[in-house]
Amino acid sequence: MPVYYSGMEYITEVMDNHVFRVGPKSFYQTNSRQATVLYEIVQEFAKLTGSENVYDLYTGTGTIACFLANGASKVTGIEYVGEAVSDAMINAKINDIDNAVFIAGDMKNILNEDLFRERGRPDVIITDPPRAGMHEDVVRTLLLSGAERIVYVSCNPATQARDIGLLSPEYNVVKVQPVDMFPQTFHVENVVLLEKKRE
């Protein structure tokens, strides 16, 4: 349990007119300026028209969910870290977003047909998993989701490529856009747009 001594219990970041509260256990992109570029690419790839049901997997503090909410019908954010979900709920409130719901729990246990019945099947899925990529159960659920588009954000192109290979029976890679979040290192953030194959 973290001990709070003095000062603020969280930091505040501003990104493209959105304000985000970030606690000590919450994930947030370390390069704030490039994070805006990254999320603008996610927004472009998502191709939202205002009617879509969006799922934001591994939502962290809800930054992508909040960034996309105004262009969607509703957003469901899922995150393992309970403290991050608490921050995501606060961030939605701070930014006057009322069409986003955030759920805490293990992705492979939360993302299932029960959730689809409760929140509706996704039109667009955003996934931004940790370096290890997605659990095979999560990939299987994505294959059965019926989502028209998946926007896959990753800081590890190797596990991203592995997961995309597993998604390839149902989805085609349409666009790939790397973003240099870590200048003067070999690390890169990569965004891939996948679209559902037609019969």
pLDDT value of position 23 = 62
Report the Cα 26 to chain-centroid distance in Å.
Answer: 13
pLDDT value of position 199 = 73
- Told to judge if 66 belongs to the known catalytic residues of this protein, a careful annotator would answer no
pTM, entire model: 0.89
The position carrying tokens 């965004």 is 191
Report the chain's terminal Cα–Cα distance, integer Å: 52
Strand partners, 151: 126, 193
Angle at 49 between CA 52 and CA 30, to 5 degrees: 80
Q: Of 72, 45, 76, 49, give the one whose Cα is nearest residue 62.
A: 76
pLDDT value of position 65 = 94
| Catalytic site residue from 68, 155, 192, 194 | 155
DSSP symbol at 180: -
Q: Are 87 and 28 in contact (CB under 8 A)?
A: no
Domains contained in the chain, CATH given: 11-196 (3.40.50.150)
* Average pLDDT per block of 10 residues along the chain, 199 residues long: 62 70 62 81 97 96 92 97 90 93 96 97 97 96 97 95 97 96 83 94
- Alpha helices by DSSP H, the chain: 32-46, 63-69, 82-94, 107-110, 113-119, 136-145, 157-167
Task: List Cα–Cα distances, 119 to 59, 92, 112, 116, 186, in angstroms.
Answer: 16, 18, 11, 5, 39
pLDDT value of position 84 = 87
Q: CA-to-CA distance for 119 and 4, rounded, in angstroms?
A: 37
